[in-house]
């Protein structure tokens, strides 16, 4: 492939399987879900005369709403499924729940036709959600012919929820809901789902094409520029068996420029310059060429070369698509096909699909918890309007009576509290409650529950509060429940309950018997809150005069800790343990065992309370950091808590003696393991992926879970620590800074960080945002892939990003993979990890993924590796060839 002055775009070529030399027949509707919303449950399923699709009632899929029908004057415009509808006058969120196949690509469509069903002539506007994530805002104002929302989405679980949320005075409504399973090797994205933008085939026919011609029930619209193009058609069969399978009628026509020497151009406008999209180009040579004729052309998107010399296959379709999301400057895009000097014929194209990227970052509630809470709902016949959709998220639609906990956006929320007090419950205490394994509080008070107190309640390890007062429970209370330490139990008002030793009374968390435990607990909590607030204000030290400038850590030397403190910094406010220096000396056995050394100072091994191992980091008087970084790290760790961030046990702030006491990480830092300095076996690819997933989760929490959000500013392999189970935790927060929210895009600050990991855009502009961490994380990911140093002057390209880009031009990924892995890895997960790393290193921070997107992508890489079963896989695919990749540094690897 010849050199091209501009960065080459990533794209793939999907070609036909030549063993299938027959046209695709119309398939059955296996896996299709076609709901006629509002159709009476007594009405039978029916075939739509215009498509042959079988529609059935939505009864049983939605548990709320009322049915309606569009006015007769509109009926002639629409097909039968759109004549009825379901609208939702009650509640804020109303949902459909559909059973689907997990980890499957689905084309999902919802059709909305108002048709003045309510005689109000008031076109509704409302929000449409897919599970816990916003899909679209449906505004039907002026849309007499209705509107359709369509996406391609990969399911995460065995159920899918489509929800309608009232945002104003009008009622949400829907006419049809349709799901069509697609082949999983088509319409894949780096992250996010695909929102329909357009789907054209190039013909003058004027005919929309849908099922049964399209076996996946996509709708194709004709488009033709008669001033610039000439139409080419054929009556011969075109082999479309490449997974995408467009209809014969789509591939049997094509457009070419009127002039043999003119390029074929197609333009479109996006909502903004930041809109990301995927485009799919479908080609087949449908002209009969003479022996002297050649059709060869290059493909460019906005002037960037995507395919240098492409020739469509005769009567056999191929699909070119871009493997990474694209953007267009100013939102204006142009696709151009230009004949090569070798070609005697102009370019030709048959069809084109384009989708914008829509991110659904919020994970659904833990599926075991969802199953449990729905089982409880069914047991008691609960029909609460709010109990629809995802139980925990988004938070504004949290089910009544539930509390949930979500550590970060990358962790499924869990149910921690269930309050069904005064809910008119009858029968026994539902056995399904036992399945809420994270439950901390259970309130079933003031109902009509009968039967005994089940022993399984004592076995629920997380349960701290049980309120069963005001019921009609009877029998003996399990001894194990009464003896459970830390449990607050309220059994009042159940006169038939029998406890060992006589009448049942409530007990507090210490096992002490009380006649009423609820009021004292509430009062105690309130007192603690008030007292804590008062103490916090009382112990606030007077803030000293602060310096306006931050010194670059590379150049500033702090020779006297007391000077650094007195010039700028107030004392630390904390209720965590503050250790005296004498205690630090004791816990480290007079600083006997050194664990390591960093920019802050020496790190020593220690023990607290005789058995809890800790790491003690002492500030050196000659440290290039100092009290500012010490204080920043303490105060950040006091307010952030995440399983993938190193926890702070305490600190010492006594004169010149400053120390941070952390939880002990038995397996040291990641760099030591990669370099082999710790001995032992080499980390395999699965372990490396697990480590970067956990590190990414910690970083994602800083960006999205902290208020205000934080930028780490020093992400590197030496700051990723591993505990005894090789769980990864991010460490060293001395350089961390909060970054802006509410519309601001960056904070201006003096550059700080580690050479090699430092974001070049941040270095150039002094503008810091969370994407600076993303860049550093991309470097870490390359280190895990290659096991190469970040900077090595003996290489042809000293910096690791440049070196990887250079090596990829040689085609084989083995050139960059750590040879110590001996090829034992899933090639697909490796390629995805390489592509993800290089996207993190995009020179433009706006084009880098977010850490939420990074977490999702890495989890998919890990899933691919886990599914491999420990055997190496062939890198080449029968259906996909990677022709070129855009790493923004001009790399062009060969086919994989």
* Shared-domain flag, residues 456 and 420: yes
Tell me: the pLDDT tens digits for 736-761? 676 554 444 444 455 567 888 988 88
Closest CA to 380 of 454, 309, 432, 334: 432
Three-state SS sequence of 520-584: HHHHHHHHHHHHHHHHHHHCCCCCCCCCCCCCCCCCCCCCCHHHHHHHHCCCCCCCCEECCHHHH
**Domain CATH number, residue 615:** 3.30.200.20
User: CA-CA distances (angstroms) from residue 399 to 92, 186, 433?
Assistant: 12, 36, 16
Mark 527-551 as b/e (b = at least 16 C-beta within 10 Å).
Answer: eeeeeeeeeeeeeeeeeeeeeeeee
- Look at residue 192 and tell me whether its pLDDT is greater than 80: yes
Which residue, chain included where needed, has tokens 């995009």? 842
Q: Which of 497, 512, 527 is the last residue of a domain?
A: 512
Q: Tell me whether residue 216 is in a domain.
A: no
Closest CA to 494 of 519, 458, 466: 466
- Look at residue 173 and tell me whether its pLDDT is greater than 70: yes
Closest CA to 15 of 301, 217, 305, 311: 311
Q: Are 387 and 399 in contact (CB under 8 A)?
A: yes
Give the whole-angstrom CA distance, residue 279 versus residue 327: 11
For the segment 323-342, the average pLDDT, to the nearest whole number, is: 94
**Domain CATH number, residue 344:** 2.60.120
- φ and ψ at 628, to 5 degrees? -60, -50
Question: Is position 771 annotated in a ligand binding site?
Answer: no
DSSP 613: E
* Shared-domain flag, residues 722 and 642: no
Tell me: the pLDDT tens digits for 116-168? 999 999 999 999 999 999 999 999 998 888 999 999 999 988 999 999 999 99
Give the whole-angstrom CA distance, residue 452 versus residue 433: 15
pLDDT given at position 504: 67
- 499 token code pair: 């406890």
Residue 45: burial class (beta carbons within 10 Å; 0-12, 13-18, 19+): exposed
Look up the domain containing 635 and give its range: 561-663
Most confident of 354-363, 599-608, 880-889: 354-363
What percentage of the chain exceeds 70 in pLDDT? 80
DSSP 197: E
For the segment 809-831, the average pLDDT, to the nearest whole number, is: 82
* Shared-domain flag, residues 828 and 734: yes
* Shared-domain flag, residues 573 and 429: no
- Look at residue 888 and tell me whether its pLDDT is greater than 50: no
Which residue, chain included where needed, has tokens 């916090």? 536
Q: Are 369 and 391 in contact (CB under 8 A)?
A: yes
> CA-based angle 586:588:593, to the nearest 5?
150
Q: Which run of H or E residues covers position 839?
A: helix 827-840
For the segment 516-528, the average pLDDT, to the nearest whole number, is: 35
What is the CA 757 to chain-centroid distance, rounded? Answer: 24
Tell me: the pLDDT tens digits for 475-486? 999 999 998 888
**Domain CATH number, residue 816:** 1.10.510.10
* Shared-domain flag, residues 344 and 373: no
Catalytic residue among 390, 714, 759, 818: 714
For the segment 335-354, the average pLDDT, to the nearest whole number, is: 97
Closest CA to 324 of 267, 271, 279, 265: 279
pLDDT given at position 357: 96
CB count within 10 Å of CB 481 equals 22
Tell me: the pLDDT tens digits for 838-850? 999 998 888 899 9
- Look at residue 857 and tell me whether its pLDDT is greater than 60: yes
What is the band of 884 on the pLDDT scale with cuts at 50, 70, 90?
A: very low
Q: Tell me whether residue 187 is in a domain.
A: yes
Of 278-287, 566-575, 821-830, which gets the smallest average pLDDT?
A: 566-575
Q: Kindly report the average pLDDT of the chain as a whole number.
A: 82
Q: Are 644 and 698 in contact (CB under 8 A)?
A: yes
For the segment 519-527, the average pLDDT, to the nearest whole number, is: 35
For the segment 178-185, the average pLDDT, to the nearest whole number, is: 94
Q: Which of 284, 316, 351 is the last residue of a domain?
A: 351
What is the CA 489 to chain-centroid distance, rounded? Answer: 39
* Shared-domain flag, residues 710 and 648: no
Has 43 been annotated as catalytic?
A: no
pLDDT given at position 513: 55
- φ and ψ at 692, to 5 degrees? -75, -30
* Shared-domain flag, residues 656 and 698: no
Q: Are 356 and 328 in contact (CB under 8 A)?
A: no
pLDDT given at position 17: 36
Is residue 760 classed as helix, strand or coil in its secondary structure?
Answer: helix
* Shared-domain flag, residues 714 and 839: yes
Q: Which of 492, 512, 532 is the last residue of a domain?
A: 512
Q: Tell me whether residue 531 is in a domain.
A: no
Closest CA to 278 of 334, 331, 355, 195: 355
| pTM above threshold 0.95 | no
Q: Are 328 and 335 in contact (CB under 8 A)?
A: no
Q: Tell me whether residue 890 is in a domain.
A: no
Q: What is the dihedral of CA 425, 427, 429, 434, to 10 degrees?
A: -100
- φ and ψ at 24, to 5 degrees? -70, 125
Most confident of 158-162, 653-657, 663-667: 158-162
* Shared-domain flag, residues 565 and 634: yes
Tell me: the pLDDT tens digits for 87-111? 999 999 999 999 999 989 999 999 9
For the segment 178-207, the average pLDDT, to the nearest whole number, is: 94
Give the whole-angstrom CA distance, residue 530 versus residue 522: 12
What is the band of 623 on the pLDDT scale with cuts at 50, 70, 90?
A: low
Give the whole-angstrom CA distance, residue 854 versus residue 839: 10
Q: What is the dihedral of CA 654, 660, 664, 670, to 10 degrees?
A: -150
What is the band of 524 on the pLDDT scale with cuts at 50, 70, 90?
A: very low
Closest CA to 130 of 114, 110, 103: 110
Give the whole-angstrom CA distance, residue 48 versus residue 79: 7
pLDDT given at position 756: 87
Q: Tell me whether residue 19 is in a domain.
A: no
**Domain CATH number, residue 149:** 2.60.120.430
- 725 token code pair: 């189970």
- 590 token code pair: 């007079």
- Look at residue 448 and tell me whether its pLDDT is greater than 90: yes
Contacts of 396 (CB under 8 A, 6+ apart): none
For the segment 605-631, the average pLDDT, to the nearest whole number, is: 76
Tell me: the pLDDT tens digits for 555-579? 222 223 333 343 334 444 444 578 9
Q: Tell me whether residue 864 is in a domain.
A: yes
What is the CA 722 to chain-centroid distance, rounded? Answer: 24
Tell me: the pLDDT tens digits for 364-415? 999 999 999 999 999 999 988 889 999 999 989 999 999 998 766 667 899 9
Q: Tell me whether residue 5 is in a domain.
A: no
For the segment 499-524, the average pLDDT, to the nearest whole number, is: 51
Higher pLDDT: 19 or 129? It is 129
Tell me: the pLDDT tens digits for 719-738? 999 988 889 999 887 666 76
* Shared-domain flag, residues 247 and 343: yes
Instruction: List the beta bridge partners of residue 35.
Output: 56, 177
**In the chain, how many domains are there?**
5
pLDDT given at position 875: 25
Strands 474-476, 496-499: pairing is: parallel
* Shared-domain flag, residues 751 and 802: yes
What is the band of 811 on the pLDDT scale with cuts at 50, 70, 90?
A: low
**Domain CATH number, residue 394:** 3.80.10.10
pLDDT given at position 97: 95
pLDDT given at position 25: 41
CB count within 10 Å of CB 881 equals 15
- Look at residue 878 and tell me whether its pLDDT is greater than 50: no
- Look at residue 882 and tell me whether its pLDDT is greater than 50: no
The number of helices, as runs of H, and strands, as runs of E, in the chain is 15, 50
* Shared-domain flag, residues 269 and 385: no
Q: Tell me whether residue 15 is in a domain.
A: no
């Amino acid at each position: 492939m010849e050199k091209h002055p501009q960065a080459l775009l990533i794209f793939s070529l999907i070609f036909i399987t030549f063993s299938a030399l027959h046209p695709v027949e119309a398939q059955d509707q296996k896996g299709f879900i076609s709901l006629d919303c509002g159709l009476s449950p007594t009405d039978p399923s029916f075939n739509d005369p215009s498509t042959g699709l079988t529609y059935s009632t939505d009864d049983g899929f939605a548990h709320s709403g009322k049915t309606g029908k569009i006015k007769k004057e509109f009926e002639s415009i629409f097909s039968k499924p759109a004549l009825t509808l379901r609208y939702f006058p009650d509640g804020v969120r109303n949902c459909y729940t559909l059973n689907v196949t997990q980890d499957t690509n689905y084309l999902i469509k919802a059709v909305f036709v108002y048709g003045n069903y309510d005689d109000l002539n008031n076109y509704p506007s409302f929000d449409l959600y897919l599970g816990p994530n916003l899909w679209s805002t449906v505004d039907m104002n002026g849309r007499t012919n209705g509107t359709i929302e369509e996406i391609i989405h990969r399911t995460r679980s065995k159920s899918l929820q489509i929800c309608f949320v009232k945002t104003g005075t009008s009622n949400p409504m829907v006419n049809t809901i349709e799901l069509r399973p697609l082949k999983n090797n088509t319409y894949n994205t780096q992250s996010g789902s695909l929102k329909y933008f357009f789907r054209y085939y190039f013909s003058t026919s004027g005919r929309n094409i849908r099922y049964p011609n399209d076996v996946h029930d996509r709708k194709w619209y004709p488009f033709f520029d008669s001033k610039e193009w000439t139409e080419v058609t054929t009556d011969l069969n075109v082999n479309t068996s490449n997974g995408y399978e467009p209809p014969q009628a789509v591939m049997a026509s094509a457009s070419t420029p009127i002039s043999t020497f003119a390029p074929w151009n197609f333009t479109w406008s996006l909502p903004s310059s930041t809109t990301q999209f995927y485009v799919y180009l479908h080609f087949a040579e449908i002209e009969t060429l003479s022996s002297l004729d050649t059709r060869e052309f290059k493909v460019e998107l906005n002037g960037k070369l995507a395919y240098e010399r492409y020739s469509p296959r005769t009567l056999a379709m191929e699909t070119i698509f871009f493997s990474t999301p694209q953007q267009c400057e100013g939102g204006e895009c142009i696709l151009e096909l230009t004949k090569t000097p070798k070609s005697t014929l102009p370019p030709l194209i048959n069809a084109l699909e384009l989708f914008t990227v829509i991110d659904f970052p919020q994970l659904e509630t833990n599926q075991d918890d969802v199953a449990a809470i729905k089982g409880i709902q069914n047991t008691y016949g609960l029909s609460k309007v709010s109990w629809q959709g995802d139980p925990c998220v988004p938070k504004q639609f949290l089910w009544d009576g539930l509390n949930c906990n979500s550590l970060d956006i990358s962790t499924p929320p869990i149910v921690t509290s269930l309050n069904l007090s005064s809910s008119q419950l009858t029968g026994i205490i539902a056995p399904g409650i036992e399945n809420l394994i994270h439950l901390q509080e259970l309130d079933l008070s003031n109902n009509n529950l009968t039967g005994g107190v089940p022993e399984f309640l004592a076995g629920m390890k997380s349960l701290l509060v049980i309120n069963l007062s005001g019921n009609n429970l009877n029998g003996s209370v399990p001894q194990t429940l009464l003896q459970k330490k830390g449990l607050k139990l309220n059994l009042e008002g159940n006169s038939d309950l029998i406890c060992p030793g006589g009448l049942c009374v409530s007990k507090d968390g210490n096992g002490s018997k009380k006649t009423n435990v609820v009021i004292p607990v509430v009062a105690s909590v309130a007192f603690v809150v008030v007292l804590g607030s008062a103490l916090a204000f009382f112990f606030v030290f007077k803030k000293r005069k602060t310096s306006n400038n931050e010194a670059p850590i590379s150049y500033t030397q702090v020779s006297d800790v007391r000077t650094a403190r007195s010039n700028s910094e107030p004392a630390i406010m904390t209720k965590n343990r503050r250790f005296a220096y004498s205690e630090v000396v004791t816990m480290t056995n007079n600083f006997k065992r050194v664990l390591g050394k960093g920019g802050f100072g020496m790190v020593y091994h220690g023990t607290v309370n005789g058995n809890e191992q800790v790491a003690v980091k002492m500030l050196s008087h000659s440290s290039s950091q100092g009290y500012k970084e010490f204080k920043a790290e303490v105060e950040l760790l006091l307010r952030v808590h995440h399983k993938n961030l190193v926890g702070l046990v305490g600190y010492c702030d006594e004169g010149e003696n400053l120390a941070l006491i952390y939880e002990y990480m038995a397996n040291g830092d990641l760099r030591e393991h990669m370099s082999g300095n710790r001995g032992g076996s080499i980390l395999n690819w699965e372990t490396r992926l697990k480590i970067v997933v956990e590190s990414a989760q910690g970083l994602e929490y800083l960006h999205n879970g902290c208020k205000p959000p934080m930028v780490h500013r020093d992400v590197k392999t030496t700051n990723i620590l591993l505990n005894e189970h090789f769980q990864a935790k991010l460490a060293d927060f001395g350089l961390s800074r909060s970054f802006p929210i509410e519309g601001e895009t960056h904070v201006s600050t003096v550059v700080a960080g580690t050479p090699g990991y430092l974001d070049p855009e941040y270095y150039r502009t002094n503008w810091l945002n969370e994407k600076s961490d993303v860049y550093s994380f991309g470097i870490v990911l390359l280190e895990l892939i290659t096991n190469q140093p970040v900077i090595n002057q003996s290489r042809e390209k000293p910096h690791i990003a440049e070196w990887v880009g250079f090596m990829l031009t040689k085609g084989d990924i083995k050139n960059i993979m750590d040879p110590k892995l001996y090829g034992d890895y899933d090639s697909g997960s490796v390629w995805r990890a390489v592509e993800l790393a290089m996207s993190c290193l995009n020179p433009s921070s706006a084009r880098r993924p977010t850490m939420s997107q990074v977490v999702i992508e890495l989890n998919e890489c890990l899933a691919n590796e886990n599914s491999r079963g420990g055997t190496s896989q062939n890198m080449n695919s029968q259906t996909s060839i990677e022709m070129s990749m855009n790493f923004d540094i001009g790399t062009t690897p060969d086919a994989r």
